[in-house]
Structure 1
Amino acid sequence: MTDTVGVIGAGRMGAAMTARLRSAGVEVVLWNRTAARAAAVAAATGARVAATARGAAAAGPVVLVSLADDAACRAAYDGPDGIVAGAGPGTVVADTSTVAPGTSIELAALVAAGGGAMLDTPVSGSVPVVERGELTVMAGGRVAVLDRARPVLDLLARQIFHVGEHGAGATMKLAVNALVHALNQAVSEALVLAERSGVARRAAYEVFANSVAGGPFVQYKRAAFERPGQTPVAFSLDLVGKDLDLILDLAARSGASMPQAAANRRAVADAVAAGLGDEDMSVLARYLRGLA
């Protein structure tokens, strides 16, 4: 088992991964662009804080990256204090960020030029899923490199799928999120339909949860939909918009027709314009109630 892991990014998922690794007895060296956020996570988990992304990347043979978007990834990888500078021979960088497949390919080439190896390893699952070690990992890159990262990924994941070369993991994550965001829109619309037609919210959701549609998404978003404003933000609506932009760009590049994703993007844009971007993705139901 790897004794020390570098973690780049102390947002919701990065913090949860840090806590999970620390609970398994793994030393974590953490870096975040906002130092105060890294310090808070370190104080809560017992992780150590690195002054630079380079320092965290040099901490162990496996480095986990969890950043918000393509721009944040490029900024963290590049430069004399970046991930590439710290990821020398023998280092595996497993990037869990949701980014464009082309960005993953680009960053993998940079890491390889510096002597390290990279995988795109985006994940499916929320913070509670991380805490239980039950993420699904979609890995792109060489199988031999994935095998070197498995001891760390196995602490976070219930299942790991190798789906192809660099960029394939990122592609698969966008495909999964296209489905997740469609489900979020559908649940929001169906719940508001039931409510406006006279069925109590909790009664309606109880039926959803026990119907043929009651899969994992419906189950783990139950509290957020039933008690809006009383549950922590798991995935903000502005990040949904970012994902849908990446999904539609990939669709345009690959020639895939995605009319539902396009409609979902318009709905999310309207809700974000109404000031709901920082709220959980389930806030779409509240937005639709207002329209009704």
Structure 2
Amino acid sequence: MDETVAVIGTGNMGAAMVARLRAHGRPVTVFNRTGSRAAALAARTGAEVATSARAAAASARVVVVSLADDAAVAATYEGTDGLVAGLRPGAVVAETSTVSPETVRALAGPVAAAGATLLDAPVSGSVPVVERGEVTVLAGGDAAALDTARPVLAAFASRVLHLGPLGSGATMKLVVNGVVHSLNQAVSEALVLAERAGVDRRAAYEVFAASAVAAPFVHYKRAAFEDPDGTPVAFRLDLVAKDLALLEALAAANGARMDQADTNRRLVGEALAAGYADRDISAMAAFLRST
């Protein structure tokens, strides 16, 4: 029988990963700070529920972490009931959260002291892409540890790219998300302009999907842009704001200009101030319609 996999964090992305792992026959133990969410996921998928991050980590050779931000990640690793306290010697932790490269590097020491190895392994793709098993894992860290984790990652990823030392994956995730957020802003602005100039929303989007701008993002966000009130939230705007802040910090540390990211961050901030924090990334179009 396949070894148990621990998944810590059962938000939208973590829950989708658990469902894929269970569909592949993997035993899975889950932990979430909001226990009811983990229990509901376990009821749907047949996963086991752990009472702490420590207990979840103790159950598995490969631990997958999927959390909202740097503070949540750091808190989950620390303490007597934290992830590090439960790690088995030889375990591999795949940190799939979108966080600062410095956060990942800071966690590597405590993980290594427990006899385990930390990978930064964020994924490029949204919840529907996880559900199809087609995300790309952007991995940084030890190659042998990545080989240990690959069979687990393959349950929800079609490609696993090893980009270099620890922190490389986190760096590239922020870089890629910078492009995604720029695409989102460009599509939002163009769609609202077409509508205000008298072109039907779906007709306008059909042109986007059939033209040179038809990136994968344009296709998989189509339903969200065309029917914003009838499509589930996949990527909240408050998390977009978090990504853009991390991207700007990374750029500042490396002396890179990010004029487009600066503009996007300002506009997302306006949308958050207007009450759009819990809306999907595509709700930037709805925000623009309201201004």
TM-score grouping bracket, smaller chain normalisation: over 0.9
Alpha-carbon separation, structure 2, partners of 1:179 and 1:230 = 26
Give how far 1:3 is off: 2.3
Amino acid across the alignment from 2:127: V
Alpha-carbon separation, structure 1, partners of 2:58 and 2:216 = 37
1:146 matched to 2:151:
no
1:210 matched to 2:218:
no
Q: Write the mapping of 1:1-292 to structure 2, written as runs, cut at 5 A.
A: 2-291=2-291
Question: What do residues 232-258 of structure 1 show as CA deviations (whole Å, max 9, x unaligned)?
Answer: 000000000000000001000010000
Question: What do residues 192-250 of structure 1 show as CA deviations (whole Å, max 9, x unaligned)?
Answer: 11111111100000000000001100000000000011000000000000000000010
Structure 2 contact 61–88 (Cα < 8 Å) conserved: no
Question: What do residues 133-173 of structure 1 show as CA deviations (whole Å, max 9, x unaligned)?
Answer: 11100001011110111110111111011001111100000
Alpha-carbon separation, structure 2, partners of 1:248 and 1:205 = 30
Question: What do residues 54-75 of structure 1 show as CA deviations (whole Å, max 9, x unaligned)?
Answer: 1111111101000000000011
| Percent identical | 64
Amino acid across the alignment from 2:34: T
Structure 2 contact 119–166 (Cα < 8 Å) conserved: yes
Alpha-carbon separation, structure 1, partners of 2:147 and 2:47 = 25
Amino acid across the alignment from 1:144: A
Give how far 1:39 is off: 0.5
Structure 1 contact 137–159 (Cα < 8 Å) conserved: yes
Alpha-carbon separation, structure 1, partners of 2:218 and 2:157 = 21
Alpha-carbon separation, structure 2, partners of 1:18 and 1:88 = 21
Structure 2 contact 104–167 (Cα < 8 Å) conserved: yes
TM-score for the superposition, normalised by structure 2: 0.99
Amino acid across the alignment from 1:167: G
Amino acid across the alignment from 1:55: A
**Local SS of the residue matching 2:7:** strand
Alpha-carbon separation, structure 1, partners of 2:108 and 2:169 = 12
Give how far 1:88 is off: 2.3
Give how far 1:131 is off: 1.3
Give how far 1:2 is off: 3.8
Give how far 1:90 is off: 1.2
Give how far 1:101 is off: 0.3
Structure 1 contact 101–168 (Cα < 8 Å) conserved: yes
5+ unaligned residues in a row in structure 1: which ranges?
none
Amino acid across the alignment from 1:114: A
Amino acid across the alignment from 1:196: R
**Local SS of the residue matching 1:155:** coil
Question: What do residues 75-94 of structure 1 show as CA deviations (whole Å, max 9, x unaligned)?
Answer: 10001111111112110000
**Local SS of the residue matching 1:133:** coil
Alpha-carbon separation, structure 2, partners of 1:130 and 1:110 = 29
Alpha-carbon separation, structure 2, partners of 1:62 and 1:53 = 13
Alpha-carbon separation, structure 1, partners of 2:118 and 2:198 = 53
